[in-house]
Amino acid sequence: MKIKDFFLMTPKKFKRIMKEQFAKPEGVAGDFFTLAMNVINFKLYNAVYNFVGKDEGSKILDVGFGNGDMLKRLDEKLDNVKLYGVDISDHMVVVATSVNQDAVDKDRMFLQNASVEELPYDDDYFDTVYTINTIYFWQDREKSLSEILRVLRPGGKFICAFYSRDYFERKKQFMSEEETYYSPRELRDVISDAGFDNAKIKVVDSKKFMYCLVCEKRGNDADADKTHGPQQL
Ligand SMILES: C[S@@+](CC[C@H](N)C(=O)[O-])C[C@H]1O[C@@H](n2cnc3c(N)ncnc32)[C@H](O)[C@@H]1O
Protein backbone atom coordinates (compact mmCIF):
# COMPACT_ATOMS: atom_id res chain seq x y z
CA MET A 1 0.00 0.00 0.00
CA LYS A 2 1.23 3.50 -0.87
CA ILE A 3 1.38 6.21 1.83
CA LYS A 4 -1.32 8.22 -0.01
CA ASP A 5 -3.74 5.22 -0.09
CA PHE A 6 -3.18 4.61 3.60
CA PHE A 7 -4.34 8.11 4.55
CA LEU A 8 -7.28 8.12 2.11
CA MET A 9 -8.90 4.84 3.17
CA THR A 10 -12.47 4.63 4.53
CA PRO A 11 -13.04 4.08 8.31
CA LYS A 12 -14.35 0.55 7.58
CA LYS A 13 -11.24 -0.38 5.62
CA PHE A 14 -9.04 1.26 8.27
CA LYS A 15 -10.53 -1.04 10.97
CA ARG A 16 -10.05 -4.16 8.82
CA ILE A 17 -6.46 -3.26 8.01
CA MET A 18 -5.72 -2.42 11.65
CA LYS A 19 -6.85 -5.90 12.77
CA GLU A 20 -4.68 -7.60 10.14
CA GLN A 21 -1.71 -5.40 10.92
CA PHE A 22 -1.66 -6.23 14.63
CA ALA A 23 -1.31 -9.94 13.84
CA LYS A 24 1.36 -9.53 11.14
CA PRO A 25 2.47 -5.97 10.34
CA GLU A 26 3.50 -5.36 6.72
CA GLY A 27 4.35 -2.30 4.59
CA VAL A 28 3.45 1.32 5.33
CA ALA A 29 0.36 0.35 7.36
CA GLY A 30 2.51 -2.00 9.48
CA ASP A 31 5.00 0.81 10.11
CA PHE A 32 2.18 3.12 11.22
CA PHE A 33 0.44 0.64 13.54
CA THR A 34 3.64 -0.62 15.18
CA LEU A 35 4.64 2.98 15.94
CA ALA A 36 1.19 3.52 17.50
CA MET A 37 1.73 0.35 19.57
CA ASN A 38 5.00 1.75 20.94
CA VAL A 39 2.96 4.51 22.56
CA ILE A 40 -0.16 2.52 23.50
CA ASN A 41 1.77 -0.43 24.97
CA PHE A 42 4.36 1.58 26.88
CA LYS A 43 3.03 0.51 30.29
CA LEU A 44 3.36 -3.12 29.20
CA TYR A 45 6.96 -2.47 28.12
CA ASN A 46 7.75 -1.05 31.57
CA ALA A 47 6.11 -4.00 33.32
CA VAL A 48 8.22 -6.42 31.30
CA TYR A 49 11.37 -4.41 31.97
CA ASN A 50 10.87 -4.85 35.71
CA PHE A 51 11.01 -8.62 35.36
CA VAL A 52 13.71 -9.01 32.72
CA GLY A 53 16.97 -10.56 33.92
CA LYS A 54 19.60 -7.84 33.84
CA ASP A 55 22.61 -9.82 34.98
CA GLU A 56 25.81 -9.67 33.00
CA GLY A 57 25.83 -12.28 30.27
CA SER A 58 22.04 -12.81 30.31
CA LYS A 59 20.48 -13.97 27.06
CA ILE A 60 17.02 -12.48 26.48
CA LEU A 61 14.52 -13.38 23.72
CA ASP A 62 11.66 -11.13 22.48
CA VAL A 63 8.94 -13.17 20.71
CA GLY A 64 7.05 -10.98 18.20
CA PHE A 65 9.21 -7.85 18.51
CA GLY A 66 7.24 -5.74 15.96
CA ASN A 67 9.34 -2.70 15.03
CA GLY A 68 11.97 -3.55 17.69
CA ASP A 69 11.28 -0.56 19.95
CA MET A 70 11.30 -2.59 23.19
CA LEU A 71 14.58 -4.28 22.18
CA LYS A 72 16.08 -0.85 21.50
CA ARG A 73 15.05 0.36 24.96
CA LEU A 74 16.60 -2.73 26.55
CA ASP A 75 19.78 -2.31 24.53
CA GLU A 76 20.07 1.28 25.79
CA LYS A 77 19.40 0.32 29.44
CA LEU A 78 21.24 -2.97 29.93
CA ASP A 79 24.96 -3.69 29.89
CA ASN A 80 26.55 -6.92 28.76
CA VAL A 81 23.38 -8.78 27.84
CA LYS A 82 22.68 -10.44 24.49
CA LEU A 83 19.29 -9.62 22.96
CA TYR A 84 17.51 -11.94 20.52
CA GLY A 85 14.22 -11.67 18.70
CA VAL A 86 11.90 -13.58 16.36
CA ASP A 87 8.94 -12.27 14.38
CA ILE A 88 6.83 -13.92 11.68
CA SER A 89 6.71 -10.69 9.65
CA ASP A 90 9.77 -10.42 7.41
CA HIS A 91 8.97 -6.71 7.03
CA MET A 92 9.26 -6.25 10.80
CA VAL A 93 12.65 -7.97 10.76
CA VAL A 94 13.84 -5.35 8.24
CA VAL A 95 12.36 -2.45 10.25
CA ALA A 96 13.61 -3.70 13.66
CA THR A 97 17.08 -4.35 12.21
CA SER A 98 17.28 -0.80 10.92
CA VAL A 99 16.00 0.60 14.25
CA ASN A 100 18.69 -1.42 16.06
CA GLN A 101 21.42 -1.34 13.40
CA ASP A 102 24.29 -0.53 15.76
CA ALA A 103 23.38 -3.35 18.18
CA VAL A 104 22.97 -5.80 15.28
CA ASP A 105 26.27 -4.78 13.69
CA LYS A 106 28.11 -5.11 17.00
CA ASP A 107 26.61 -8.51 17.88
CA ARG A 108 24.63 -7.30 20.86
CA MET A 109 21.36 -8.18 19.10
CA PHE A 110 20.26 -11.03 16.82
CA LEU A 111 16.94 -10.79 14.94
CA GLN A 112 15.32 -13.51 12.85
CA ASN A 113 12.22 -14.19 10.79
CA ALA A 114 10.74 -17.20 12.63
CA SER A 115 7.61 -18.33 14.44
CA VAL A 116 7.26 -19.01 18.14
CA GLU A 117 6.07 -22.46 17.06
CA GLU A 118 9.55 -23.32 15.81
CA LEU A 119 12.21 -21.37 17.67
CA PRO A 120 15.63 -21.58 15.98
CA TYR A 121 17.62 -21.99 19.22
CA ASP A 122 19.18 -24.77 21.29
CA ASP A 123 17.56 -26.22 24.39
CA ASP A 124 18.09 -24.29 27.68
CA TYR A 125 19.58 -21.33 25.78
CA PHE A 126 17.83 -18.28 27.30
CA ASP A 127 17.71 -16.76 30.77
CA THR A 128 14.55 -14.83 29.92
CA VAL A 129 11.92 -15.04 27.19
CA TYR A 130 9.29 -12.30 26.95
CA THR A 131 6.44 -11.48 24.63
CA ILE A 132 4.32 -8.32 24.50
CA ASN A 133 0.81 -8.17 23.05
CA THR A 134 1.23 -11.25 20.86
CA ILE A 135 -0.10 -14.41 22.55
CA TYR A 136 -3.59 -14.06 21.02
CA PHE A 137 -2.12 -14.59 17.53
CA TRP A 138 -0.33 -17.88 18.20
CA GLN A 139 -2.14 -20.54 16.17
CA ASP A 140 -0.78 -23.59 18.00
CA ARG A 141 -0.59 -22.45 21.60
CA GLU A 142 0.63 -25.77 23.05
CA LYS A 143 3.48 -26.01 20.53
CA SER A 144 4.42 -22.35 21.11
CA LEU A 145 4.56 -22.70 24.89
CA SER A 146 6.48 -25.98 24.67
CA GLU A 147 9.02 -24.25 22.41
CA ILE A 148 9.46 -21.43 24.93
CA LEU A 149 9.90 -23.96 27.72
CA ARG A 150 12.46 -25.85 25.64
CA VAL A 151 14.68 -22.83 24.91
CA LEU A 152 14.57 -21.48 28.51
CA ARG A 153 17.25 -22.64 30.91
CA PRO A 154 16.09 -24.30 34.15
CA GLY A 155 15.12 -21.46 36.50
CA GLY A 156 14.75 -19.05 33.54
CA LYS A 157 11.77 -16.69 33.30
CA PHE A 158 8.92 -16.34 30.83
CA ILE A 159 7.11 -13.00 30.85
CA CYS A 160 3.91 -12.45 28.89
CA ALA A 161 2.39 -8.95 28.76
CA PHE A 162 -1.14 -8.91 27.39
CA TYR A 163 -4.56 -7.27 27.22
CA SER A 164 -7.26 -9.41 28.85
CA ARG A 165 -10.34 -10.68 27.04
CA ASP A 166 -12.41 -7.84 28.58
CA TYR A 167 -10.39 -5.37 26.53
CA PHE A 168 -11.20 -7.11 23.25
CA GLU A 169 -14.87 -7.49 24.21
CA ARG A 170 -15.07 -3.73 24.62
CA LYS A 171 -13.07 -3.07 21.43
CA LYS A 172 -14.76 -5.53 19.13
CA GLN A 173 -13.07 -4.03 16.09
CA PHE A 174 -9.83 -5.71 17.23
CA MET A 175 -11.40 -9.17 17.61
CA SER A 176 -10.87 -12.00 15.16
CA GLU A 177 -12.18 -15.56 15.15
CA GLU A 178 -8.66 -16.78 14.46
CA GLU A 179 -7.36 -15.34 17.72
CA THR A 180 -7.68 -16.47 21.36
CA TYR A 181 -8.19 -14.04 24.24
CA TYR A 182 -7.69 -14.81 27.92
CA SER A 183 -8.79 -13.58 31.30
CA PRO A 184 -5.77 -13.25 33.63
CA ARG A 185 -6.83 -16.37 35.54
CA GLU A 186 -7.31 -18.40 32.35
CA LEU A 187 -3.88 -17.47 31.09
CA ARG A 188 -2.29 -18.37 34.41
CA ASP A 189 -3.97 -21.81 34.23
CA VAL A 190 -2.92 -22.32 30.59
CA ILE A 191 0.68 -21.48 31.47
CA SER A 192 0.71 -23.78 34.50
CA ASP A 193 -0.82 -26.63 32.44
CA ALA A 194 1.94 -26.10 29.85
CA GLY A 195 4.52 -26.98 32.53
CA PHE A 196 5.72 -23.59 33.81
CA ASP A 197 6.15 -23.03 37.57
CA ASN A 198 5.12 -20.18 39.88
CA ALA A 199 2.86 -18.42 37.37
CA LYS A 200 1.83 -15.06 38.80
CA ILE A 201 -0.26 -12.26 37.34
CA LYS A 202 0.70 -8.63 37.84
CA VAL A 203 -1.98 -6.00 37.18
CA VAL A 204 -0.34 -3.33 35.04
CA ASP A 205 -3.38 -1.06 34.52
CA SER A 206 -6.78 -2.52 35.41
CA LYS A 207 -8.71 0.30 33.69
CA LYS A 208 -6.89 -0.47 30.44
CA PHE A 209 -7.07 -4.27 31.00
CA MET A 210 -3.27 -4.54 30.89
CA TYR A 211 -1.64 -7.49 32.67
CA CYS A 212 1.74 -9.16 32.88
CA LEU A 213 2.20 -12.84 33.63
CA VAL A 214 5.53 -14.03 35.04
CA CYS A 215 6.55 -17.66 35.49
CA GLU A 216 9.63 -19.90 35.53
CA LYS A 217 10.95 -23.05 34.02
CA ARG A 218 11.40 -25.57 36.81
CA GLY A 219 14.95 -25.60 38.13
CA ASN A 220 16.94 -24.94 41.24
CA ASP A 221 18.64 -21.75 40.13
CA ALA A 222 18.61 -19.28 43.02
CA ASP A 223 18.55 -16.34 40.57
CA ALA A 224 15.15 -17.20 39.19
CA ASP A 225 13.21 -14.98 41.61
CA LYS A 226 15.19 -11.78 41.03
CA THR A 227 12.98 -9.02 39.64
CA HIS A 228 15.25 -5.96 40.01
CA GLY A 229 12.13 -3.74 39.97
CA PRO A 230 10.40 -1.39 40.10
CA GLN A 231 12.15 0.75 37.48
CA GLN A 232 11.17 2.86 34.47
CA LEU A 233 12.42 2.51 30.93
C1 LIG B 1 0.58 -6.54 18.09
S2 LIG B 1 2.21 -6.75 17.47
C3 LIG B 1 3.18 -6.41 18.94
C4 LIG B 1 4.58 -5.96 18.62
C5 LIG B 1 5.47 -5.66 19.82
N6 LIG B 1 5.63 -6.83 20.68
C7 LIG B 1 4.94 -4.48 20.61
O8 LIG B 1 4.32 -4.70 21.66
O9 LIG B 1 5.09 -3.35 20.17
C10 LIG B 1 2.35 -8.52 17.34
C11 LIG B 1 3.66 -8.98 16.72
O12 LIG B 1 3.76 -10.41 16.89
C13 LIG B 1 4.20 -10.98 15.67
N14 LIG B 1 3.73 -12.38 15.64
C15 LIG B 1 2.45 -12.81 15.49
N16 LIG B 1 2.40 -14.16 15.52
C17 LIG B 1 3.68 -14.59 15.71
C18 LIG B 1 4.28 -15.87 15.80
N19 LIG B 1 3.57 -17.00 15.68
N20 LIG B 1 5.63 -15.96 16.00
C21 LIG B 1 6.39 -14.82 16.07
N22 LIG B 1 5.86 -13.57 15.98
C23 LIG B 1 4.53 -13.45 15.79
C24 LIG B 1 3.60 -10.09 14.59
O25 LIG B 1 4.26 -10.20 13.34
C26 LIG B 1 3.75 -8.71 15.23
O27 LIG B 1 4.99 -8.10 14.92
Distance CA 121, CA 124 (A): 9
d(CA 165, CA 182): 5
Ligand 1 center from residue 170 Cα (angstroms)? 22
The β-bridge partners of 197 are 216
pTM for the whole thing?
Answer: 0.89
Average pLDDT, the chain: 89
CATH number of 42-217: 3.40.50.150
pLDDT tens-digit profile of 146-178? 999 999 999 999 999 999 999 988 887 777 788
Integer Cα distance of 14 and 48 in angstroms: 30
Pocket test for ligand 1, best of 69, 87, 121, 204 (most atoms within 8 A of CB): 87
Distance (Å, whole) CA 134 – CA 160? 9
What pLDDT was estimated at residue 95?
Answer: 95
Query: Which pLDDT tens digit goes with each residue over 13-50?
Result: 666 666 677 778 888 877 878 888 898 999 999 999 99
Q: Which of 42, 84, 88, 90 to mutate to test the pocket of ligand 1 (most atoms within 8 A of CB)?
A: 88
pLDDT of residue 224: 47
Asked if pLDDT for residue 124 goes beyond 50, the answer is yes
- Whether 79 and 56 have beta carbons less than 8 Å apart is answered as yes
Distance CA 165, CA 106 (A): 40
pLDDT at 226: 52
Q: Kindly list the domain boundaries of the chain, sorted by start residue.
A: 42-217
d(CA 66, ligand 1 centre) in Å:
5
